[in-house]
Copies of this chain bind each other. A is one copy, B any other.
Amino acid sequence: MAATLKDVAKLVDMHPATVSRALNPRTSHLVSPETVARVRKAAESLDYVPNPMASGLRTSRSHTIGVVIPDLTNPLFAGMVRGMQDTLARAGYTPLVVNTDNDVETERKVVSSLKARRTDGLILATARREHPLLEEISSTLPIVLVNRVTESVALPSVTTDEQHGVRLAVDHLVGLGHSQIVHLAGPSWSSTGHDRAQAFQRAMKSHGLTATRRSITVPAWSVDSAREVAQKVLASNAATAIVAANDQLALGAFAAVRQLNKRCPRDVSIVGYNDIPLMALVDPPLTTVRVPVVDIGSEAARLLLSLLREETPTATKHVKLTPELVIRGSTAPLRA
């Protein structure tokens, strides 16, 4: 059906090898300019497009990148994937996206299915902190980590400055007069949950706010469990402000506030994290730390592509992007 190299060769009365050289940008300089032109025209006229399976078989490069995320349905990861898709496509690579649903067993399965597909590299944006099979994969395949780093193996990564982001939130609240600030922390198996909780402690300490029970962990990244936890906190606690570990948890806090017949931001100020879509449209509009999700994706792709290009493995690169605070209606000065 589709035209092959041989068809083009026949048309210009040349050997397939010559046609291949002429069409391949990396080898076309080995061929006289006029034949290149002739071949190009012929290829065009036949709509010739190289068969990636054939060239992949020969070169053992699939021009394919495995992308492992918890869940595409989460706007955070959808944004990242979008960034990856765009920059990978420009370089002639295709991402193969798989979801783990934060399950270690599925994670093992999808990674091995990606290896079976002979992906040229891997971008791991999974959330778990510990990760058994990282080492063994990394020896066989270029890997870029997203939103987390590893202690054990030195792997290139793209992260955001959680420390900075959380501090922005805390500084903002302190600036508004709050001192009774509580952190709604993400699950402890999650690397961002862990990191943000730690960053929160540090930011509080830097303001001389060191009382205990400042941080309470939500068992899942869901609105509902955040609501339950926040309700307990707000009922028993004199907290006037909450820093939530992500926007969903912040929305859970909203719900808790409403259930207790309190009001946000009048009675309690709430800051989210990530700035997923529509957060400007909830009520009240959510003050939150904006994470450049699409940029994270493109940076991760860019980093992986550079890894694929260089054969001599240089020093492990870490890209760290900076989040910013978006102040909206869910935070207000402490009432005297």
Residues of A within 8 A of B (CB): 1-2, 49-54, 56-57, 62, 71-73, 75, 78-79, 81-82, 85-86, 89, 94-99, 112-113, 115-118, 140, 223, 251, 254-255, 277-278, 281-283
Contact = CB atoms under 8 A, between A and B. Distances in A.
B117 A52 contact: yes
A50 B50 CA distance: 22
Contacts of A95: 97
Contacts of A78: 72-73, 75, 78
Contacts of A54: 53, 57
A163 B86 CA distance: 36
A46 to B, nearest CB: 14
Given A73-B82, A85-B98, A115 B251 contact: no
A300 to B, nearest CB: 15
A202 B281 CA distance: 32
Contacts of A98: 85, 89
A97 B86 CA distance: 11
A2 B117 CA distance: 12
Nearest to A63: B117
22 contacts: A2-B118, A51-B57, A51-B118, A53-B56, A53-B62, A57-B57, A72-B81, A72-B82, A73-B75, A73-B78, A73-B79, A73-B82, A73-B277, A78-B78, A85-B99, A94-B96, A95-B97, A223-B281, A251-B278, A281-B282, A282-B283, A283-B283
A140 B96 CA distance: 24
Contacts of A81: 72
A94 B117 contact: yes
B251 A281 contact: yes
A118 B223 contact: no
Would you list the 4 A-B pairs with minimal beta carbon distance, nearest first? Answer: A283-B283, A53-B56, A49-B116, A53-B57
Contacts of A113: 89
A51 B57 CA distance: 8
A227 to B, nearest CB: 10
A56 B95 CA distance: 18
B82 A52 contact: no
Contacts of A96: 94, 96
A51 B53 CA distance: 10
Contact of A278 (B56, B71, B89, B282): B282
B75 A82 contact: no
Nearest to A276: B278
Contacts of A254: 281
A80 to B, nearest CB: 10
Contacts of A112: 49
Nearest to A117: B52
A75 B79 CA distance: 10
